[in-house]
Every structure is written in structure tokens, then in C-alpha cells.
Amino acid sequence: MESRWSDADAHAYRDRYAGHGEVLALRVYTSRLLGAEPALVQHGGGNTSAKGEVVDLFGERREVLFIKGSGWDLATIEPAGLPAVDLVYLRRLRTLTTLPDEVMVNVLRTHLLDGSAPTPSVETLLHAFLPYRFVDHSHADAILALTNQADGEAHCRAALGDEILVLGYIMPGFPLALAVAEVVEANPAARAIVLAHHGLFTFDDDVRASYELHIALVDRAERYLAAHPAATPLAAVTTPAQAQARAATLLPILRGLLHRHDPAHRHWILDHRATAELLAFAGDPEGRALARTAPLTPDHVIRTKAHPLVVEGIDWDDATRVRATLDRALEEFAEEYAVYFDENCVAQGVSRTRLDPLPRVALIDGVGQVAIGATVKAARIAGDIYTHTVATKTASRGLGPYRGLDLADLFDMEYWSLEQAKLGKASPPPLAGKIALVTGAAGAIGAAVAARLAEAGASVCLTDLDAGRLAIAAARLGPLPHLAVEADVTEAAAVEAMVAAVARHFGGLDIVVLNAGIAHVARLAELTDADLARVVAVNFQGYHRVLRAAIRLFELQGSGGDVIVNSSKNVFDPGAGFGAYSCAKAAAHQLGKIAALELAPLGVRVNMINADAVFGDESIPSQLWAEVGPERMRARGLDGAGLRAYYRDRNLLKVEVTADHVAAGVLFFATRQTPTTGATLPIDGGIPAAFPR
């Protein structure tokens, strides 16, 4: 690892944040340098601080500690992410003999200079008690590889030098802050301390010196690891291509079983990775044994649990046997978790609210790593952390036996009162954990539906043929947690590949919105076979192809689902010259009714929406009206605005029907507000001839 310090960049940060002062500007700069290294910190891990001064309302100068606040990531931190805390008061706390965690957090909040600032790090007192202006802390992989050994202190000294302080594990909080302050003050020449199973702290009055010492020590650790390779590499017999092919079947099965084993019956998102290193780790007996050991640092237990689900011996020739093996493995994991929870509560004489007994990471021989989360973000964080865990444990094999913390220490972190206090405070959105597929997502209705489902918490796959418009629709949803796939619903192979891509990307499928459609204007006498076939291929057969592929996933998952068919007001009230569209939509509508009959035993609900006259907006106008609008305007002697007014005024409510109205109807069915299947919901402002009957 090399220093990323640049004098030019440091000067630029001084200029950019001149209003915050040089100390805070440079603290932001080097914090981002640390955050840019995934091998140092991941997803909000690590923390940094700087001691400085501010001028209060009375014009008096006050000593403060700028410390990373909760919710901020070092890689993107801004001055607001380093809130100021009264340093004089913090130092007074050192005179206490005890300080409960809850009291400590309250003290930190009540001594912020800005009441709206984020809560300071739980390690704030450690930073405050150190007699240096700048403090840098990371959970560096290479440092943890050294400490997590039977003779970890010896490895640290051999790799980093005798001048580096090493302290045994103490849980974050007031006792750790006192212990670090005492050992540092007893060794005034020291500028770094390694905390076993926790990470590295460096400190100095010069911001660059503290940062560059941090990088230099991690570099030494990395070189030490490289100089002590394992005698034999971990071996895998599965290729990434084989693992990806198996995942398309395994992931939906696993996801359905997680739903069934979850006491709250939540839906989960899966993050699959099948690199050669992960496949070797999951496929080699030594790797699987290492997987059953403690995480690199107890902080990870919040994201990954104490250890992953480890599965081997799967018979890939039969999905039923795959399901049985996974089911048994989850049952055993839950039983072990119950024992872990009960034994530690009894041993420590505490009462805690038990968390769910589900794994957050699965290592599966022949498939690789599968991370599990309530959201795409949570699954990816668990996946990132465990990918680094695998790399670090693999790299440390040459040092000797791996030794993490015992289960009691992990329990303390997983069931820390500060974490327990968060339970139940946040209500998940209605479609949390649900995975949705929207066809025709580049159109006005499809884009609005995708956006509404995403707002409700679903992870959405948008699919369409028009790459440009699809990119616009996807951009409305942001980069996460969504997926955009170009696919032609008239091609069976493309549809199968698209649905498999959804399964591999998210783990399965819960909501299917059949929406792709095209229009063609021609009276029956002039309607050619080719034009009729083209419309039917998209508006009816395309619906069936997507539905057929989705049913296979619903069957593998066994956890229900929802299908919403966007048919049309024309199903009940067709228009002259619009025969191809009306007939194809009527067939799609009937398809939905039959699907409601056939899929009810799977717990899958199928409902239809009949919309009318949806024009879209300027960014994503309706493709259907782009095709049929000119003919309708000519026939009625209207311009574009006049045509909109005509369709608005012909319905009973005299309203313009928008894509958002249709999206609201889709959301109604997708959120299962009533026990309904096989229903038709008109969204047309009231067209008497189109009343369902």
C-alpha cells in the first residue's frame, strides 16, 4: 500500500473548505484518502478526528474535537460529517471510574456544538483522551490478519517493529478509551497502537505524518503476509461459469427458504459472487473450516453474524434435493444460533431481544459466496465484508492457526445495548425486500410503475428494447438497487435470459408487471397478417413468455408473488381501426384470468389494470400515442393539446389519466392491501362502455 498524499490536492482542500479552517479541511482530505482504500475501511468503518478551535456566540475560542459522525463514510466525508464536540468536557470524563454506554452516548450528544449534527463515534473518548491533534483509525485487513493468530502480538512486532504498541482486545467504549490513553502516555515516543481484533490507530500533531505512518504500517503488514505464504493453495473444482449456471436455480430456492425460516417471513435480497478465490475457499475443506471461525473484527458480526452458513455435498442434478440440503442446513444454523443466544444470555445474566436466526452470508461448495440482506445495499455490504474476510483469512494461512474472538465477545457486540436500542425504530417500506420486473419500462407507464415500486422499497429490474429511453427511465431510480436489461419479449431465449439475470442479480422475483406493448392503426380490411402477428407477438405472446419464465422462479421460491397485467380499456370498449391492439390486449387480459386460476395454489396473485389515454410527459412520452396520435388527431381535426382535452372530457370524471395514476394502481395490487386475485381495475376516469362486466 502506498501513500496517496498530494501537496496539490491538500492545497485544493484548504481552498475548498477555507471557511471551515485548515485543520478541518485537511482532516477531511486525509479521511477521504483512508476511505479510498477498501483494504483499510469498508462501508462506514474506521474513524478519524482532529482537535481544533471554534469561536462561539460570545466571541470566545473553544477547544473542540472534530470526530466522524454516525452514518458518514470516510470515502465521501464532508465537514458536516466531522461534528464538533466540547473537548474540555470530554477530557474531564477521564476522571470517572465508570461510564455506561448509554450515558456516554447521551453525553456526546448533549455536548455537540450543533444539536442537529450526527451522533459522534462510539470511539470519541479514545480520540479525545489521546494527546495529539490528529488520530486515524482503520480496520485494515492486513493488520487484522496479524492479530487474529494464536501468537498475534509476536507477528505484529515482527512485521511492524518493536516501537509499535499492541493492546489486547477490549470492547469499544469508555474502558477501551482509558486503556489506550494509559498505554500511550506510558510510551510517549509511540505514534501507533494496534488493538487486537480491532485495527490500527496512528496519531500525530501533523496530519500528513499520522496518515502516512498509517499507510506505511499497513504496507509493512502486507509485505509480511506476502513473505509468509501457505504451503499449498486452496483448491476449487468449480469454474465461475459453472457456479453462475447453478446460481440461477439455487438462489431462488435459497431465497424462498429464507422467507419460510424467517420468524417475520420477510423477503430477502441475495448477492452472489463466484470469483476463483471464493470458489476455492468454499470448495476446499480448509477454507470451509476457516469459514466457521470468528470474523476478522467483532464489528463485522452486526453485518455477517458470527459465521456464515457453510453448505457442501449438494446434488446438483435435482432441484428437490438441492432444496432439501439447503433446508436442512438452515434448520441446523437456526438451532446453533438459538443455543449461542441462550447460553450467552444465561452465562452473562442478561436479557436480550433475540435477533432472527438467519445467516447473512452463505458459503456454498460449487456456487461460491451468497450474501443475504434486507435490502440490496445490506446484501452488498455483507458481501463486500465477507469477500475481504475470505481474502484475509486465505492470506494469513501461512502465519499459523487463525484465532478470532470467542463467542462471548461476539455476543457482546451483536447484542450491544446500543444496537438493541435501534430495534423496531425504523419501519421498512411496504415492498422492502421485494424484487420486481417491469417490461416496457422505457415507456411512459412502465417508467412510472418502476419508479413507484422503487419508492415503495422494491428492487426493480427495468427491461425494454429501446436502450436510450431505458437509460432515462433507469436514471430516475438512481444507481441502486436497480437493474436495467435490454430484452425483446418476442424472443423466448431473450426472455429466459432476462429472467435468469434478475434471479442472479437479486436472488429471485416477487412482482411481475406485464406492460410491454405496441400499437398499430388499420381497419380490419387493411390489416395484414404480418402487422397483426407483430402486435400479437408483443402484446399477447410476449406477456405469456415473460409469465412462463416467471412462473418457474415462483415455483422454485415457493413464497408467492404478484403479477399485474397492463391490459387496456379497449378490452371492454374497443375502437374502430384499432383491431390488432384491442384483440391482442383482450387475449392478454384473458391470459391474466387463467393465470389467476392456475397460480393461486402457489400463492401468486394475478390482477389486471385497464387504463385509457395515458400520454406520458416530455421526458418519457407514450410510445403508443406517438404511433396512433397523429391518425387520431387527423380523424378528429385536433392538435396535440386538443386531443388530450378530448380524451379528458370524454370520461365521467373529466380528468386526464396519467402514468402515475396507473403506477398507483399497480402499487395497490403489489402491496396486497386486499385479498384479491383475478380482478380488473379500470383507471380511465370512468368510461361506461368499459365498465368490467
Q: pLDDT tens-digit profile of 326-335?
A: 999 999 999 9
Q: Which residues of the chain have pLDDT under 50?
A: none
Q: Tell me if 7-226 shares its fold with 435-614+657-681.
A: no
Q: How many residues does the chain have?
A: 693
Strand bridging mode 483-486 / 165-167: unpaired
Determine contact, residues 384/42, Cβ cutoff 8 Å.
yes
Q: What are the tens digits of pLDDT across the range 502-528?
A: 999 999 999 999 999 998 989 999 999
Q: Cα separation of 369 and 390, whole Å?
A: 10
435-614+657-681 CATH, one of 3.40.50.300, 3.30.450.40, 3.40.190.10, 3.40.50.720: 3.40.50.720
Cis peptide before 481 (omega within 30 of 0): yes
7-226 CATH, one of 3.90.960.10, 3.40.630.40, 3.40.225.10, 2.40.33.10: 3.40.225.10
From the candidates 17, 29, 581, 647, give the one annotated as an active-site residue: 581
What is the rounded radius of gyration, in angstroms, for the C-alpha atoms of the chain? 30
How confident is the model at residue 181, as a pLDDT? 98
Determine contact, residues 602/560, Cβ cutoff 8 Å.
yes
Joined grid coordinates for residue 263? 420468524
197, amino acid identity: H
Contacts of 46 (CB under 8 A, 6+ apart): 34, 35, 40, 68, 74, 137, 138, 139, 199
Within 349-443, residue ranges assigned H as helices are: 376-395, 407-414, 417-420
646 counts as catalytic: no
- Of 628, 693, 618, the C-alpha closest to 659 is 618
Coil, strand or helix: which one is 49? strand
Residue range 244-420 in CATH 3.10.50.40: no
How confident is the model at residue 325, as a pLDDT? 98
- Helix (H) or strand (E) run with residue 371 in it: strand 368-373
CB atoms within 10 A of CB 478: 9
Contacts of 323 (CB under 8 A, 6+ apart): 253, 257
For residue 622, how far is the Cα from the chain centroid?
32
DSSP string, 358-370: --SEEEETTTEEE
Tell me the helices (H) and strands (E) count for the chain, helix number first: 26, 18
Determine contact, residues 56/84, Cβ cutoff 8 Å.
no
Q: Cα separation of 153 and 680, whole Å?
A: 69
Instruction: Give first-to-last CA distance, the chain, whole Å.
Output: 71
**Long-range contact list for 382-387, CB < 8 A, 24+ apart?**
382/271, 382/303, 382/304, 383/271, 383/273, 384/38, 384/42, 384/43, 385/42, 385/43, 385/300, 385/303, 385/304, 386/304, 386/308, 386/361, 387/273, 387/275, 387/278
Q: What are phi and psi of 85, to 5 degrees?
A: -120, 145
* Residue ranges covered by each domain of the chain: 7-226, 244-420, 435-614+657-681
- Helix (H) or strand (E) run with residue 665 in it: helix 659-670
How confident is the model at residue 645, as a pLDDT? 83
Enter the pTM of the model: 0.93
